[in-house]
């Protein structure tokens, strides 16, 4: 298209040098994780919403990765908020349920009533709107990638705790229904969302992270239970195609742009939280798709070193974009602020660190 607006991309700061192989040790990863978590709690988790949910699930996963109990801060947050500050009404408000389910499963806090309320909201057709193929809409008339993570991780983790494979399978079916709208059959990348039934083909980085992370969460959990093998195979195939496509698009500075295909108006505008989330998915997918293990690990370590270079001395994953509604033109993604701490950035950084620690350091560089 002629007349692209390059006014954002040409003034973007140059990317940082990725962390070296030698610097990524278990001790270094743990120090980074503890710094990230400490700063986040100091800054505060004020709302019952998706940022809080993404971060607390990630911190809980981190504790599991180093064989520690559920974080005391997470237990305290739910003890103080699950009754007085509980909020539903949008798919984003389901996100805290994933870590609530983990607390219940660990015996750290009884969140049964809360989880049942969240489940009732998700399953009530009067609560949210649904696309013709059964995909839960993020907004009426719009299917977004975000939903598969915000709702899916709750269904998966609560289904695991309840030993109810149907809930986990429901999350898998949402992944498939969303892919029908959002996964481009030619590029295999995921669009951010659709508007009034029309897919807007902008391959937003964090949206690709949400879809990939939800897919690996599903594939890991369903191994414990029986499930429609067609669902498993389709989710696995969609994930494999997506990750192969993303691997080819990782820039030399090892951080994906805000639109992962380096669309001209966004080229060089990096998105660290997306990179962290996608790195975590590559680590976890290397065990789920063993025929791609070596290739996936190579990308995972590169992206890990790339995004962790942006954790500052306070423990903030810098260059994380703010909450992003669906943009109707690609240029819209070039003007989203990325100059302050975001809870989802903190959580996705912990996701990447946890996946690396759980997987174990290797010679994948």
| Whole-number pLDDT of residue 126 | 87
Identify which of 325, 214, 348 has the alpha carbon closest to the alpha carbon of residue 271: 348
Considering the domain boundaries, does residue 339 fall inside one?
yes
Helix (H, G, I), strand (E, B) or coil at 13: coil
Considering the domain boundaries, does residue 12 fall inside one?
no
Identify which of 334, 341, 209 has the alpha carbon closest to the alpha carbon of residue 275: 209
The answer on pLDDT for 361 being more than 80 is no
How confident is the model over 238-260, as a mean pLDDT?
Answer: 98
pLDDT level of residue 227 (50, 70, 90 thresholds): confident
The answer on pLDDT for 37 being more than 90 is yes
The answer on pLDDT for 211 being more than 50 is yes
How confident is the model over 134-149, as a mean pLDDT?
Answer: 96
What is the span of the domain harbouring residue 348? 19-359
| Whole-number pLDDT of residue 365 | 38
DSSP H stretches of helix in 82-228 = 96-106, 112-123, 146-150, 152-162, 165-182, 205-222
How confident is the model over 55-66, as a mean pLDDT?
Answer: 97
Instruction: Give exposure, 209-235, as e/b (b: 16+ Cβ within 10 Å).
Output: bbbbbbbbbbbebbeeeebeeebbebb
Considering the domain boundaries, does residue 14 fall inside one?
no
| Whole-number pLDDT of residue 362 | 45
Task: State pLDDT tens for residues 158-202.
Answer: 999 999 999 999 999 999 999 999 999 999 999 999 999 999 999
Q: In the Cβ-directed half-sphere of 285, how many Cα atoms lie within 13 Å? A: 32
Considering the domain boundaries, does residue 4 fall inside one?
no
Considering the domain boundaries, does residue 1 fall inside one?
no
Considering the domain boundaries, does residue 279 fall inside one?
yes
How confident is the model over 321-335, as a mean pLDDT?
Answer: 97
DSSP H stretches of helix in 14-85 = 26-43, 50-65, 72-81
Considering the domain boundaries, does residue 13 fall inside one?
no
Q: At what angle do helices 112-123 and 96-106 cross, to 10 degrees?
A: 140
Residue 139: which CATH number? 1.50.10.10
Considering the domain boundaries, does residue 7 fall inside one?
no
The answer on pLDDT for 40 being more than 70 is yes
User: How many domains is the chain built from?
Assistant: 1
């Amino acid at each position: 298209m002629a007349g692209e607006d390059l006014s954002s991309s040409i003034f973007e700061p140059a990317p940082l040098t990725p962390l070296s192989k030698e610097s990524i040790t278990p001790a270094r990863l743990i120090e980074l994780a503890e710094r990230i978590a400490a700063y986040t709690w100091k800054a505060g988790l004020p709302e019952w919403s998706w940022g809080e949910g993404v971060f607390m699930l990630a911190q809980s996963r981190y504790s599991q990765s180093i064989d520690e109990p559920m974080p005391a801060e997470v237990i305290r947050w739910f003890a103080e908020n699950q009754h007085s500050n509980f909020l539903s009404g949008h798919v984003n408000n389901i996100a805290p349920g994933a870590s609530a389910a983990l607390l219940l499963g660990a015996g750290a806090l009884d969140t049964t009533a809360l989880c049942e309320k969240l489940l009732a909201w998700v399953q009530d057709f009067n609560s949210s709107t649904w696309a013709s193929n059964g995909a839960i809409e993020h907004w009426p008339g719009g299917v977004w990638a975000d939903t598969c993570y915000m709702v899916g991780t709750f269904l998966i983790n609560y289904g695991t705790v309840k030993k109810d494979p149907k809930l986990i399978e429901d999350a898998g079916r949402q992944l498939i229904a969303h892919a029908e709208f959002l996964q481009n059959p030619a590029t295999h990348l995921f669009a951010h969302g659709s508007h009034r039934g029309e897919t807007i083909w902008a391959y937003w980085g964090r949206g690709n992270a949400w879809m990939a992370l939800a897919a690996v969460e599903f594939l890991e959990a369903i191994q414990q239970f029986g499930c429609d093998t067609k669902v498993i195979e389709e989710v696995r195939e969609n994930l494999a195609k997506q990750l192969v496509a993303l691997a080819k698009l990782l820039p030399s500075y090892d951080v994906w742009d805000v639109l992962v295909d380096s669309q001209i108006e966004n080229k060089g505008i990096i998105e660290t939280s997306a990179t962290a989330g996608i790195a975590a998915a590559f680590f976890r997918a290397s065990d789920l798709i063993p025929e791609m293990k070596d290739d996936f690990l190579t990308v995972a370590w590169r992206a890990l070193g790339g995004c962790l270079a942006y954790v500052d001395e306070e423990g903030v994953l810098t260059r994380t974009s703010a909450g992003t509604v669906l943009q109707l033109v690609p240029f819209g993604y070039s003007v989203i602020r990325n100059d302050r701490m975001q809870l989802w950035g903190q959580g996705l950084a912990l996701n990447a660190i946890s996946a690396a620690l759980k997987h174990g350091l290797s010679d994948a560089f």
